[in-house]
Structure 1
Amino acid sequence: MMLLSWLLIFILCFLGLWITGCFDKHKADERRKTIIVLGSGGHTAEMLKFLKTLKVELLGERVYVIAGSDIGSLSKIMEFENGVEHLNIEYIPRSREVGQSYFTSVFTTLYSMLYCTLVIEKVAPDLVIANGPGTCLPILFCAWIHKTLGLSRCKLVLLESYACVKNRSLTGRLMLPFVDKYFVQWPSLLSTSSKVVYSGRVPISAFREKFPRRVEKPRTLDTSSYVLVVVGSTNFDNLIRSIDTEEFARKLHAIGYNGIKIQVGTGTYQVTALHSFSSSKFQVEIHKFIFDWEYKVRSASLVIGHSGAGTILDALEFGKPLIVVENECLMNRHQSEITGMMRDLGYIVSSDLNHLVDEIEQLCKATTYCLQFPKTESGVFRDYIESLYK
């Protein structure tokens, strides 16, 4: 079934390229062009952190490809490309939504593949850099077909997510035969293939110049600001429902926090109980998505979040104490790897829904806190991209 699906995709993409007349064309515009595929949520955050290690001018004209249902990545692109008057954005149908079955994703991927064929022909990229979920699969495959047919010399680069600790993502497993380089962020994902390269962890800026291994008392945990609760771009109504109680708000207020700001994502649960406790001394804010994300994280005293890589990395980058609650409703519980690893390394506190308040109180009373997250540089990724244009 899978083999037939790929064969059908290849044929359809081949016909799409033939219909557009690309066999009779030569690349008239010789300017360097790079397609950057953003996978939404934490995948977008990871990609932009890697790009910050580069001189982006090296990439030439940058074309960002994002899914039509992704409403969060655009603001992050605008922040990253600060000062650029015109942004090149291409929206494509998402090949697979979070939680969508693998069977039905075959058909949505076919639709997305046809759309991506036109994008590849329009842009004619020299380089495609992709990170994350199924969003990047059709654009990478179409670019590979374009290259295989001799229509370009495009290089294809796939960045595996930091959330994949012990097992490669489905996208990584499917696209490994087609990409030129496949960067992984954990050495446990290395293989005998020369395409697979260990890049080191996604780079982050240093929150402080020096990092003590443990922060000992008498320094106390800052509780002067608010608690930020984030669920990412998915549905995590179970978490929102569990904290929507006056008792939860009362305990946060008693600890010293002055409010709570909640990002509810695509969930449908309506917060009610917390609103009844809202006052000038304890403010409650509800957001579907947060567009001034960096400011919100920097200003928070405590972050409670799902175990998405973007949430974890950003909270740790800004030196915020982080309690992670795994969203067990996600397919294959793919967040469990990163949660377990970061907890075992001592960077985060993890909790289930029933013990969240206990973990907050324990964190405030603890004599030692989590380890500071050290700064890293992804020189391997940067050096490879620079080598393409020497």
Structure 2
Amino acid sequence: MDRGTVFATVGTTSFDELIEALLSDSFLQILHDKGYRKLVLQIGRGRIEPVAQETRCGVEISSYRLKPNIQDDLMAADLVISHAGAGSVLETLALNKRLLVVVNETLMGNHQTELAENFAGEGFLFWTTVKNLPHDFANIDWLKLKKYQPGRPDLFASYMDNFFGLS
């Protein structure tokens, strides 16, 4: 079954280890075997150069460094693989996309692991490390994910307006 597009994002920083893992022939073959035919990479500020377009292992690959907004890429994706940045995680979950978070273990004071563990513990996403990416991805049961229900900050704002007599 063709599942279409995988969008991978590292945000505005550098996470070359993840990009290298995603571009490895072994991972591309797993993507192909799972029915994915397109991989779009947002590669951030790393040392890896963007690829306009190429096909390897039956997967069409394209990449870019940064865009003002990745909303279109997220919406077009059947699956998102992301660094564990809070913004990327929340934006993806709000669109109810399948999400695999890859924690950057090289960061000092790694809050990313805590964020990923908490959301995974609630059943909203899966998470892994670069080292375990191929194995974990090959064995994920996406049917176990729960639908994320984003918060409603507008209700809190309305409550506060009423409380202070502003509405």
Q: Which range, TM-score by smaller chain?
A: 0.7 to 0.9
Match in the other structure for 1:319: 96
Whether the 8 Å contact between 2:50 and 2:64 is mirrored in structure 1 is no
Q: Which runs of 5+ in 1 are unaligned?
A: 1-221
Whether the 8 Å contact between 2:50 and 2:65 is mirrored in structure 1 is no
Structure 1 residue corresponding to 2:26, chosen from 217, 242, 247: 247
Q: CA separation of 1:385/1:225 partners in 2, compared to 1, >3 Å: closer, same or farther?
A: farther
Over the aligned positions, Cα root-mean-square deviation in angstroms equals 2.6
Structure 2 residue corresponding to 1:259, chosen from 11, 17, 38: 38
TM-score by length of 1: 0.38
In structure 2, the residue corresponding to 1:290 is in which secondary structure? coil
Match in the other structure for 1:380: 156
Whether the 8 Å contact between 1:223 and 1:301 is mirrored in structure 2 is no
Q: CA separation of 1:223/1:369 partners in 2, compared to 1, >3 Å: closer, same or farther?
A: farther
Once the 2 structures are TM-superposed, how far is the Cα of residue 344 of structure 1 from its aligned partner? 1.2
Higher relative contact order (Cα pairs below 8 Å, separated by 6+ residues):
2
Larger radius of gyration: 1
Name the count of aligned residue pairs.
164
AA matched with 1:251: I
Deviations 1:3-24 (A, max 9, x none): xxxxxxxxxxxxxxxxxxxxxx
Once the 2 structures are TM-superposed, how far is the Cα of residue 299 of structure 1 from its aligned partner? 1.2
Whether the 8 Å contact between 2:104 and 2:130 is mirrored in structure 1 is no
TM-score by length of 2: 0.84
Deviations 1:78-103 (A, max 9, x none): xxxxxxxxxxxxxxxxxxxxxxxxxx
AA matched with 1:258: R
For 1:367 and 1:284, how far apart are their aligned partners in 2?
23
Whether the 8 Å contact between 2:6 and 2:79 is mirrored in structure 1 is yes
Deviations 1:269-326 (A, max 9, x none): 2368x94617xx6321111013452221111111110111111112111111111111
AA matched with 1:369: K
Structure 1 residue ranges, 4+ long, deviating more than 4 angstroms after superposition: none
Match in the other structure for 1:339: 116
For 2:81 and 2:111, how far apart are their aligned partners in 1?
19
Match in the other structure for 1:294: 71
AA matched with 1:248: F
Q: CA separation of 1:270/1:376 partners in 2, compared to 1, >3 Å: closer, same or farther?
A: same
Whether the 8 Å contact between 2:7 and 2:41 is mirrored in structure 1 is yes
Match in the other structure for 1:304: 81
For 2:100 and 2:84, how far apart are their aligned partners in 1?
9
For 1:357 and 1:309, how far apart are their aligned partners in 2?
23
Once the 2 structures are TM-superposed, how far is the Cα of residue 388 of structure 1 from its aligned partner? 8.2
- Aligned pair 1:328/2:92, yes or no? no
In structure 2, the residue corresponding to 1:372 is in which secondary structure? coil
AA matched with 1:328: E
Matches within 5 A, 1:335-374: 335-363=112-140, 366=141, 368-374=143-149
Deviations 1:310-363 (A, max 9, x none): 111121111111111112233311222211111111111011112212222222
Whether the 8 Å contact between 2:43 and 2:50 is mirrored in structure 1 is no
Percent identical: 24
